[in-house]
Amino acid sequence: MKCPYCGYEESKVIDSRSADDGERIRRRRECLKCGKRFTTHEVIETVPIIVVKRDKSREVFDRNKLTAGILRACEKRPVSIQQIESIVDAIEAKLQSSLDREITSMQIGELAMEELKNVDEVSYVRFASVYRQFKDINTFMEELNKLLTEKK
């Protein structure tokens, strides 16, 4: 680790602690040349997930876009920010644990609907109406009937 003060490349670790709920390690280091101390943070490097969109274009998975879509579906509903964060965390964990590095936007939408169905049915239907691009009232009613059948 290069010293930020003198540029020397050797240092010793004085202290290590877990930070951010175990997501990173905080290390206090001391430069072996100038003796100054500095802090570093180690993070597990993840391979980015590529989202294949409907038009076959590709982009890096963006957690904020998913959160925004779910927030829109849950607007004016009794769904807390913590619940929304939990939904997004669960979806992201499934994507990271998958062996596929490319995933379709359709698969992400299905995962979101699966999670929303367990939290709030109205938010689920709102998300489904945008995600599945309901063309008319009949397709909307079909989705509602499926939801009612599953509930029984």
Q: Are residues 90 and 55 in the same domain?
A: yes
Range of the domain at 93: 50-151
Four-point Cα dihedral 68, 70, 73, 76, nearest 10: -80
Please report whether residue 74 resides in a domain: yes
Q: Which residue carries 């909307």 as its tokens? A: 140
Assessment of whether the complete model's pTM goes beyond 0.75: no
Question: Which sign does the torsion angle of CA 37, 43, 48, 49 carry?
Answer: negative
Q: Are residues 18 and 73 in the same domain?
A: no
Q: Are residues 18 and 74 in the same domain?
A: no
Q: Are residues 60 and 116 in the same domain?
A: yes
Rg of the chain on CA atoms, in Å = 22
- Please state the domain count of the chain: 2
Give me the amino acid identity at 152.
K
Q: Are residues 35 and 103 in the same domain?
A: no
pLDDT on residue 132: 76
pLDDT for 100 beyond 90: no
pLDDT for 71 beyond 90: yes
Please report whether residue 20 resides in a domain: yes
Q: Residue 55: helix, strand or coil by DSSP?
A: coil
- Alpha-carbon gap, residue 57 to 86, rounded angstroms: 28
> 20-60 pLDDT, tens per residue?
777 789 999 999 999 999 999 888 777 789 999 989 999 99
pLDDT on residue 19: 80
Please report whether residue 1 resides in a domain: no
- Alpha-carbon gap, residue 22 to 5, rounded angstroms: 28
